[in-house]
Chain A
Amino acid sequence: MYSRILVGFDGSAGAERALNAGLALAKALDAELHVIMVEEDLPKYAATIGEYDEVKQQRDAYFAQLERQVHLAAQLAQVPVQTHIVAGHEVWAIVDFAKHHAVDLVVIGHQGHSTLHERVFGSTASSIVAHVPCHVLVVK
């Protein structure tokens, strides 16, 4: 049913649940599994390149650690995985990736923000659901 699955991963508990679900689905369906990690808290409108680059280097180191975590989980589950670390807005990076890589299913974790937070800012999950051109599995 699904031949290419994309998991959004940021190291949170919800994302870990999504990763486990993605690994299980990919194994059961023999699907290609991609994991995307989005560096989204880089400084916008920086005064110098250095200001941006220093934060980027910190984020790169953090996400490299997450990438190792993903590969370890994939090895344990015996599922091949391809990881992608991209900079940008979490929602749009996932939506763009899904569009341009013909992804069938996006698996994301539920973040569990407060009702007020979701009313004011909307949730990442609902924004992704609204914009990706494929099925979305939100794991709680």
Chain B
Amino acid sequence: MNVWETAFLWIALALAASVVSVRLALSVALAEILFGVLGGNLFHLQPNEWVNFLAGLGGVLLTFLAGAEIEPEAMRQHWKASLVLGFVSFLGPFLGAMAYAYYVAGWDPNAAKIAGIALSTTSVAVVYAVMIETGLNRTPLGKLILAACFVTDLGTVVALGLLFAHANLWLLVFVTALAVTMAMAPRLTRWFFRQVGVHTSEPQIKFILLLLLMLGALAVKANSEAVLGSYLLGLVLAGTMAQNRDFLHRIRSMTFTLLTPFYFLKAGSYISLSALWGAAGLISVLLAVKVVAKTIGCYPVCRWLRMSHRESTYTTLLMSTGLTFGTISALFGLTHGYITQAQYTVLVSVVIGSALVPTIIAQAFFKPAIEEQRAVRTEVPKRASLVYEEG
């Protein structure tokens, strides 16, 4: 296939995924993964060099956007509780899944580490969407859970960025550059944004790309993962980004139009349907391991934080969800040769399952007291009433 034929095929799948996601009110990421599965298994969709680059850049920007979505104020208000809850939410499944993969499933140490990292995640976006529907996002409990999700994902990207890095001079250079960039980026970004303003040539987006690519280049030199720098940069720029909503919209549009489709289609294309059928048992067990490990880690902390049994179970189940970072971790493992395609299939299937199953159970059986949430979310416009009182 020539370059245009390849591009045509990938964009056709991306378009189909977009349309399906809009029609079914499903995340475009999930739709792209599913279309990637179809493409990979039915049309032998094969990522080439430039697809890999676009996909990689998509992953970097996606991670940056995920980091930039944190509410710094919520994190400041609940930093102690969110740090504890987020950390145990990462550590429990990281150790549990890694131990199961290594001791029971017989995976090699690196593959077991990837399993631990991929299943340690929490999907902030899935949790956020559920909270909007329950009204929890406006309560202190909701803000605490969301802040804890960011901490969990931080644990995931740090583990991904450091566990496989080579302890050499490049790692030192990367860590130093990362620390300096994190310290300087908020002020520098605000200054640069003021200098250039909004323009069709998007100097603001190019500036952020420059920082991300510099960190990515150094991360790869150290055999680390570019998403570590991206996520941390996103976190430190979250306050700046909150004041530049329009910028976020523009960079998000660019990312979701041209980059992440390649990323998620590629992620889906590596899922082997034949391996999927053969590993259904392992997928179920690993999903259970993730949820149980999250429960062992999170539930006692929730109770310690004086949440009721219902709230604790609900929180624990929401913390068991995963999608973006789980996929990123599994893809990192596959592209670096730490896991096989069959193991990748297992991990991504568990990750997708963890986006669905715990959410459904939490919503169906453990939704916290509705009255309180409804009272918050229920707005009672008085315009009509006032008109009659006046009339």
List A residues at the B interface (Cβ < 8 Å): 40-52, 54, 56, 67, 71, 74-75, 78-88, 96-97, 100-101
Contacts and interface: CB of A to CB of B under 8 A. Distances in A.
B384 A49 contact: no
Interface stretch (B48-56, B62-70, B84-92, B296-304): B62-70
A85 B25 CA distance: 18
18 contacts: A43-B28, A45-B27, A45-B126, A46-B29, A46-B129, A47-B28, A47-B30, A47-B324, A48-B324, A51-B27, A52-B129, A71-B384, A75-B384, A75-B387, A78-B388, A80-B388, A85-B379, A101-B374
Contact of B383 (A45, A47, A71): A71
Contacts, number: 115
Given A56-B132, A86-B377, A97-B374, A46 B384 contact: no
A84 B379 contact: yes
A62 to B, nearest CB: 14
Given A41-B25, A88-B133, A47 B125 contact: yes
A45 B381 contact: no
B323 interface: yes
B128 A49 contact: yes
Chain B interface size range: 35 or more
B323 A71 contact: no
B323 A84 contact: no
Given A42-B129, A79-B384, 8 more contacts: A47-B30, A48-B65, A48-B66, A49-B66, A67-B381, A81-B384, A82-B385, A86-B377
B122 interface: no
Nearest to B25: A41
A43 B381 contact: no
A45 B384 contact: no
